[in-house]
Amino acid sequence: MRKLRMNEMTVARFLERYRVEFLEDIQNLIRIPSVSKPDKYGEYPFGKECARVLDIALAKAKELGFETENHEYYCGSILMPGTENGEIGIFSHLDVVPEGDGWLHDPYTPYVRDGWLYGRGSADNKGAAVTALYAMRYLKENGIQLRHQIRLFLGCSEENGMEDMEYYLAHFPAPDFSFIPDASFSVCYSEKGIIEGDFEIPLPEGIVSFTSGVASNSVSASASTVIENISGEIPLVDSELWPEISVFQDGIRLRVEATGRSAHAAFPEGAVNAGAVLAAYLCENNLINKEAKTILSFLSECFNQHYGEGLGIEYDGGKLGRLTAICGMVRTENKKLKLNINIRYPAQVNSKKMIEKIDEKAARYGWNVKTIRDDPPSYIDPEKTVIKALNELCQEELDPSFEPYCMGGGTYARKLPNAVAFGPGIRGQKKPGPEGHGGGHQPDECVKLEVLENALSIYIKALQKIDELLP
């Protein structure tokens, strides 16, 4: 690794000088409820809040002396020119998933407790975006100019289809090499394929409404239904058998609610799908007719687990990971019941045959497939020199046992050539607070400030190492 110049400050001194400002910049972004809401006919393609958070981030970069580009509010770029041709990309995003229920504190009022920063977007992905900006700031203030231009990309629709990336790549060339600070260290060399499917069926008699989940890529933490009250009485709920269920009189109808435990679709360990619990309760307690039971059994039987067992598509890809399958959302709309599924599959899986299986399974319960979106897996040879160099850096800075890995999460890396997900998180790090809280798509999302500070040091060194290794 390059030696320090005489006038070059250490990362520790840099952090000492800017730690307060660094935290404030992250908090300023967290305060914006930047849930991506595509609007093809409005002034802003993903809504006013996504536009506002992008304006704030680009204004900060400009204040620091960087060139900035606003790509029609689809996304933005912060640039640090190099001495030669070529470009290194850092691809981050400023949009967030909907806040959902179960927060102990307001999701958009950031605060720090015991070294953890709380708020929607703190971990996914605003904290990482600011960390990448400060890595560029370090290089700039220390007069370290690379051969390759650095581009920090700030997207506004990563959580909702990655249309921002599609727009960017339709207008600009991809960098020579990119990393995405939207995962964990060490280097993620492969991302599973992602299938999203929309199913629908005429709303069965007796069910007035059914709602579960807030995002396709999150296990549902809460669900509710309003049903016609067949008996006219409020049923007693066995609290030991059904601890997640509450039943209320709603005029001549019943409102039934279920609580679950949320998690990201890619990492559903320990999650409880509230929609599946609710469907199972209705089916097993004679609160709905035979037709409705058949329809809701698709949810209760196929998505009460998270690894495709109910769909008959379970698969363990070894180092490339295990297949996961969740039902993220259920809605009633226009007298139809609509259901959305999210599947993450390893590179060895034949997705076409898997989709045929899912279609056949859904049809047995009466459901019709409306749309299927298949985003293929990404893969880079972990033996490539730059991948090995980045892993060695993580071993030196964090843990000598770290190795490149694959994951079920979907980042911008899957849309780019020659790209990997790279930090800033620590795999397996326990979050504070109750079970089901603290993760990127969970209530009380948080990130350890020490994690971001460690990542800052790694990103500073990684940019220089990548610049050295690229032609």
pLDDT one-digit tens code per residue, 63-91:
999 999 999 999 999 999 999 999 999 99
- pLDDT bin (cut points 50, 70, 90) of residue 232 is low
Task: Tell which CATH architecture fits domain 193-375.
Answer: 2-Layer Sandwich (3.30)
The pLDDT of residue 441: 87
% helix, strand, coil for the chain, step of 5: 30, 30, 40
Q: Running DSSP on this structure, what letter comes out for residue 123?
A: I
Long-range contacts at 228-235 (CB < 8 A, ≥ 24 apart): 228/252, 228/253, 228/254, 229/253, 229/254, 230/206, 230/286, 230/287, 230/288, 235/285, 235/287
**Is it the case that residue 5 has pLDDT exceeding 80?**
no
| φ, ψ (nearest 5 deg) of residue 116 | -110, 135
How far, in Å, CA of 32 to CA of 80, rounded?
26
Tokens at residue 435, please?
């079970």
Query: pLDDT at residue 373 above 70?
Result: yes
Residues of the chain with CATH 3.40.630.10: 11-192+378-469
| pLDDT bracket for residue 409 (50, 70, 90) | confident
- 96: phi then psi, degrees, rounded to nearest 5: -135, 165
Query: Does the pLDDT of residue 386 top 50, yes or no?
Result: yes
Question: What pLDDT is recorded for position 230?
Answer: 64
Residue 373, C-beta contacts closer than 8 angstroms, at least 6 positions apart? 195, 196, 197
Average pLDDT over every residue of 409-424: 94
- Quote the pLDDT of residue 1: 47
Cα(192)–Cα(217) distance, rounded to whole angstroms?
Answer: 14
Mean pLDDT across 128-154: 97
Instruction: Determine the residue type at 227.
Output: I
pTM for this entry: 0.78
Query: Do you know the residue count of the chain?
Result: 471
Has residue 231 got a pLDDT over 70? no
Q: Is the pLDDT of residue 199 over 70?
A: yes
Instruction: Tell me if the bond preceding 7 is cis, omega within 30° of 0.
Output: no
381: nearest Cα among 428, 352, 347, 410:
347
Residue 4 has pLDDT above 60, yes or no: no
C-alpha dist (Å) from residue 280 to 272, 295, 308, 314: 13, 11, 17, 21
pLDDT band at 6 (very low <50, low <70, confident <90, very high): very low
The domain made up of 11-192+378-469 has a fold known as Aminopeptidase (3.40.630)
Cα–Cα nearest to 38, from 127, 161, 213, 189: 161
What integer is the mean pLDDT of 256-274? 94
- Among 89, 92, 93, 91, smallest CA distance to 150 is for 89
Q: How far is the CA of 173 from the CAs of 24, 208, 372, in angstroms?
A: 33, 50, 28
Positions of CATH 3.30.70.360 in the chain = 193-375
Indicate the pLDDT class of residue 2, thresholds 50, 70 and 90: low
Alpha-carbon torsion (17, 19, 24, 30), positive or negative? positive
The residues, any chain, with a CB within 8 Å of residue 33's CB and separated by 6 or more, are 49, 96, 99, 107, 108, 120
Phi-psi map region of 86: left, alpha, beta (phi>0 left; psi -120 to 50 alpha): left
N- to C-terminal Cα separation, the chain: 18
Beta-sheet pairing, 87-93 with 149-155:
parallel
CA distance 350 to 343: 13
Backbone angles phi, psi at 7, to 5 degrees: -100, 10
Give one DSSP letter per residue of 278-289, joined into a string.
HHHHHHHTT-S-
What percentage of residues in the chain have a pLDDT greater than 70?
97
- Is the backbone peptide bond immediately before 424 cis, with ω within 30 degrees of 0? yes
